Structure 1
Amino acid sequence: MRIGGVRVAYVRVGRGAPLVLVHGAGTDGRMWLPQLEELAAEFTVVAWDEPGAGRSAGLPAGFGLGDFARCLAGVIEDLGQGPAHVAGLSWGGTVALELYRHRPELVRTLILADTYAGWKGSLPPEEVAARVEGVRRMLAMPREEFDPLLPGLFAGEPPAAYVPMLDAAAGDVRPETMGAELFLMAEADERDLLPLIEVPTLLVWGELDVRSPLGVAHAFEEAIPGARLVVLPGAGHMSNLEAPEAFDRAVREFCRAHA
């Protein structure tokens, strides 16, 4: 489909209330493989490739966080099923928040996993500066040495079952997209939005997440009215892959409760 002149691809499986999955930086909709497989029995599960990722068209010049949110809104409207449960992990959670800022009527519930209110909104300034410098070094590498897998994504080794998928997705990452995502994340600050969220909100966090530590989760819990936090033992930043059964169970039960 085309949204504002940008071709956007998404996968849609299953039947039931729409559950839209928003991937993190440096990957695409394939990161939601276990959720696409396990939740389709009860929900219409949708995993998009954001502009500049996967099967979607290249990222237009000057594309901002609000533009990502508007494209995500277009996907939900294209489904034609009304408001959706919207789940975002890491950068994807920040995009989901921006969607809620602009189009709250499209959001039935929010599921925010291992995410940020933007780096600026969730991390100390010195940590943001260190990450920005790391992004600059990464983007300066020759294309054949470019590695989009950021440090600290997993509490241990990546789950063996998903290594082929992770390798394939990493091989398709476009450096210009990843750079745009991460520089936008560095400047984003969604803290003003959190107390204004009026839809049911689930927070799902890996206990051992070092990229978005549990302190960030507790800040979300305190700021968002009625938010519920589920901590997944032993999981890191990519909690949907390290603890897929527990992740899926938390999402399933939450969406059922707010059907």
Structure 2
Amino acid sequence: MTRPCVLLLPGLMCDAAVWTAQCEALSFADCVVPSYGELSSITGMARHVLEIAPAQRFSLAGHSMGGRVALEVVRLAPERVERLALLDTGMDPLAEGSAGEQERAKRMALLQLAREKGMREMGRVWARGMVHPSRLDSPLFGQILDMIERQTPAIFEAQINALLGRPDAREVLRDLRCPTLLACGREDAWSPLSRHEQMHAMVPQSRLVVIEDSGHMSTMEQPFAVSRALVEWMHW
């Protein structure tokens, strides 16, 4: 019998480490964690995912920016996606007016910090909003900094540009016809639960799972809870 294929898409400045526990839990499937390199658009990243997918049809999960890439994969090739999981992510494009300019300015300030002080020092500032407050300066926080340090300012710049130019994914959500899991850390300050509740309301066949005692980095903060949700999703 053919093994199922699962593509697990990491978020901004993340790599396969963000999905380590989930790959172990999904060992009954062929798990693939793509790398985006210096691709600078969400659409380019989605095309890359489709090119490297080892199976014609696959299950697809995305965390944070990876969720936006996953939605673009669905837009480009809905017939290839058997089921979809979106974790700690969003659907809206860059806001217009001052809100959008503020986001752009904050991201560019972080990029400048990375160029001047290095990726790890940038991460010390940036990642403090990524985890539950109780995990600041913990061993887990150090693992996140290690992951950020494995990236480069050039990759950071490319992924920032991809996010600043992110497409509006609301219509993709409304048109979803595959089994869809939405999961979010209860204390996610970046991609709040309220946003996932809105997304859940837009996708009638979706299920919403709240990951308790977790910030934005739910796959690493609460690996067992997230893995359990994904294993159940694979058997819907």
Alignment TM-score > 0.5, same fold: yes
Q: Distance in 2 between matches of 1:191 and 1:74?
A: 24
> Which residue is equivalent to 2:59?
85
> Which residue is equivalent to 1:192?
171
| Structure 2: segments with no counterpart, 5+ residues | none
Aligned to 1:25, the other structure's residue is in SS state coil
> Which residue is equivalent to 1:37?
24
Residues 161 and 151 from structure 1, CA distance in 2 versus in 1: closer, same or farther, beyond 3 angstroms? closer
Residues 165 and 213 from structure 1, CA distance in 2 versus in 1: closer, same or farther, beyond 3 angstroms? same
TM-score (structure 1 length as normaliser): 0.80
Alignment of 1:152 with 2:125, yes or no, is no
Give the superposition deviation at 1:168.
2.8
Residues 115 and 28 from structure 1, CA distance in 2 versus in 1: closer, same or farther, beyond 3 angstroms? same
Check the 8 A contact 1:93/1:115 in 2, yes or no. yes
How many residue pairs get aligned? The number is: 228
Q: Distance in 2 between matches of 1:72 and 1:20?
A: 8
> Which residue is equivalent to 2:13?
26
> Which residue is equivalent to 2:187?
208
Aligned to 1:234, the other structure's residue is in SS state coil
Residues 69 and 230 from structure 1, CA distance in 2 versus in 1: closer, same or farther, beyond 3 angstroms? same
Q: 1:65 aligns with which of 42, 64, 83?
A: 42
- Higher helix content, 1 or 2: 2
Q: Distance in 1 between matches of 2:141 and 2:13?
A: 15
Give the superposition deviation at 1:161.
5.5
Check the 8 A contact 1:18/1:45 in 2, yes or no. yes
| Structure 1: segments with no counterpart, 5+ residues | 1-14, 53-58
> Which residue is equivalent to 2:150?
172
Alignment of 1:102 with 2:81, yes or no, is no
Letter in 2 for 1:182: I
Aligned to 1:34, the other structure's residue is in SS state helix
Letter in 2 for 1:73: L
Q: Deviations over 1:175-204 (max 9, x none)?
A: 222223233323322112211111111001
Q: Distance in 1 between matches of 2:57 and 2:149?
A: 34
Structure having greater relative contact order (Cα 8 Å, sep ≥ 6): 2
Letter in 1 for 2:109: R
Letter in 2 for 1:32: W
Aligned to 1:210, the other structure's residue is in SS state coil
Check the 8 A contact 2:128/2:136 in 1, yes or no. no
TM-score (structure 2 length as normaliser): 0.87
Aligned to 2:30, the other structure's residue is in SS state strand
Check the 8 A contact 1:132/1:183 in 2, yes or no. no
> Which residue is equivalent to 1:228?
207
Q: Distance in 2 between matches of 1:151 and 1:131?
A: 17
> Which residue is equivalent to 1:47?
33
